[in-house]
Amino acid sequence: MKLLNIGVLASGRGSNLQAIIDASEEGKLDGRVRVVVSDCEQAMALERAKRHGISSYYINPNIYPDKSAYEQEIIKKLREHQVQIVALAGYMRLVSKVLLRAFPNRVINIHPSLLPSFPGLEAQRQAWEYGVKYSGCTVHFVDEGVDTGPIIAQEAVRVREDDNPETLAERILKEEHKLYPKVLQWIAEDCLRMEGRRVIVLKD
């Protein structure tokens, strides 16, 4: 079976990256992470990639004249490794049309809330402060907005009475680690179809 070539962009600790790698190595995902790119030199995600023999690159956005030039360098690395799908995993920069046009409908992200509620930073704290009874996580296609792309899948997490933002975030993260590899497997199996903004999953 031909494996899906995955490229991951990450800025931090890379726990979702690790979940994807683990799913691949355990045979639960018909794909492999071919390359990891980070905008942070000290990102733990880069170390995780090295531990598994995955090509990894720190690309410093500050040395490029503009965002377009920076993203062109990212695109170059992704194409060098024949990436078919780009997964954002704690990548803390908005991507522009430059990257999105290079990989049309092939850039996905995971967000720690049930979008469209609580986009942006500190989504878990936003949900907790608002007093919702359920939060969760969302995998979505990326567009030029902030967490506004078409939703692929969601997993709900009940907010407990004794929760705080940190405990809620921990439980949501556990669901993220399950949902992201699952969605990538759907992509590997070519199970997604677009109808306008609706993403149809052709899977039981």
DSSP state at residue 63:
G
Residues 52, 81, 111, 140: which is the catalytic one? 111
- Of 104, 72, 70, the C-alpha closest to 86 is 104
Residue 157 burial class via C-beta count within 10 angstroms: exposed 0-12, middle 13-18, buried 19 and up:
buried
| SS3 (DSSP) at 92 | coil
Q: At what angle do helices 15-25 and 165-188 cross, to 10 degrees?
A: 40
Active site residue 140: no
What CA–CA distances, in Å, run from 167 to 79, 93, 128, 130, 161? 39, 25, 10, 16, 11
What is the set of active-site residues? 111
